Amino acid sequence: MGTQIDLTGKVAVVTGVLGRLGAVWTDALLGAGADVVGIDRSVTVPPLLEETLSRHPEHRFQLLKADVTETDTLRAALDSCLATVGTPEILVNNAGIDQPPNTSGDSWRFGDIPAEVSASILDVNALGVLKTCQVFGAEMARGGAGSVINIGSLYGSMAPDPRLYEHLPQDPPFIKPPAYGMSKAGVAALTRYLAVLWGGQGVRVNTLSPGGVLGGQDAAFRGKFSDRVPLRRMAEATDLTGPLLFLASDLSSYVTGTELLVDGGYVCW
């Protein structure tokens, strides 16, 4: 992408690295020269990440198995990271679960959403970020430098528009789980908390909140969503990399505790 940002010599940890955006963050960080330590629940590299890694033949990437809801696995991953590449200075808290309409046939009326569905979303998306910060972020604070980037969402600030899903055949009609936006609003609150806690120790903490990112959505959804966005389109992966590198690098040296919405202006109207 022709960036001038140089992260050579820095160790970046990316959670949820095997997912769609995990590959995007990895591509950007490797391209800027960072060593990337990816964390996920499995160690099977999917084609998307494989293809990303092949674009960086000199890549310094390792994949560690850990679950962001299990602190002991995160501690083991940190130990491995310290023993091989050293103290991380960039942490991208990206692991998350969502329930897009195309991944599951399940749909519920609001009052019937199973408690375990809500709990698991909050567990991974909110408490998982807290636990990862307790392990990796605290190590960065001990090291006296770093940038933590918590991946939030537009839906931490805005309610999902149910009309975007009206065309789907599910009965009852598909609704986004409310726990998703709750978890992402919680992430933005945690960002502010940690920005204050670690401000004196050289660690900055910010939220990067994407809007709708082009993926496997159906054409009707894409059309309705794009009409709702001032820039009239959904985000491409490459729309996200500049904001990530800005927050990861010294370009944002006086930016902490904030939420950078990368949403094409969705919240403006």
Ligand X SMILES: NC(=O)c1ccc[n+]([C@@H]2O[C@H](COP(=O)([O-])OP(=O)(O)OC[C@H]3O[C@@H](n4cnc5c(N)ncnc54)[C@H](O)[C@@H]3O)[C@@H](O)[C@H]2O)c1
* Residues contributing to the site for ligand X (CB under 6 A): 15-16, 18-22, 40-41, 67-69, 94-98, 124, 128, 151, 153, 210, 212-213, 215
Kindly report whether the peptide bond that precedes residue 172 is cis, defined as omega within 30 degrees of 0: yes
Least distance (Å) between residue 9 CB and ligand X: 26
Least distance (Å) between residue 98 CB and ligand X: 5
In DSSP terms, 204 is beta-bridged to: 147
Torsion, Cα 89 93 94 96, to 10 degrees, reads 160
Q: Which is nearer to ligand X, 176 or 204 (CB)?
A: 176
Least distance (Å) between residue 209 CB and ligand X: 7
Least distance (Å) between residue 60 CB and ligand X: 20
DSSP 90-128: EEEE-------TTT-S----GGG--HHHHHHHHIIIIIH
Q: Which is nearer to ligand X, 145 or 189 (CB)?
A: 189
Report the b/e string of 136-159 with b at 16+ CB within 10 A: bbbbbbebeebbbbbbbbbbbbee
64 vs 175: CA distance, rounded Å? 34
Least distance (Å) between residue 130 CB and ligand X: 13
Least distance (Å) between residue 27 CB and ligand X: 13
Torsions phi, psi of 166, nearest 5?
-60, -30
Q: Which is nearer to ligand X, 107 or 125 (CB)?
A: 125
Pairing status of strand 11-15 against strand 35-40 = parallel
- Per the structure block, which two tokens stand in for 156? 């931490």
Q: Which is nearer to ligand X, 5 or 95 (CB)?
A: 95
Q: Which is nearer to ligand X, 117 or 202 (CB)?
A: 117
Task: Say how many CA atoms lie within 13 Å of 19 toward its Cβ.
Answer: 16
The SS3 call for residue 240 is: helix
Q: Which is nearer to ligand X, 212 or 243 (CB)?
A: 212
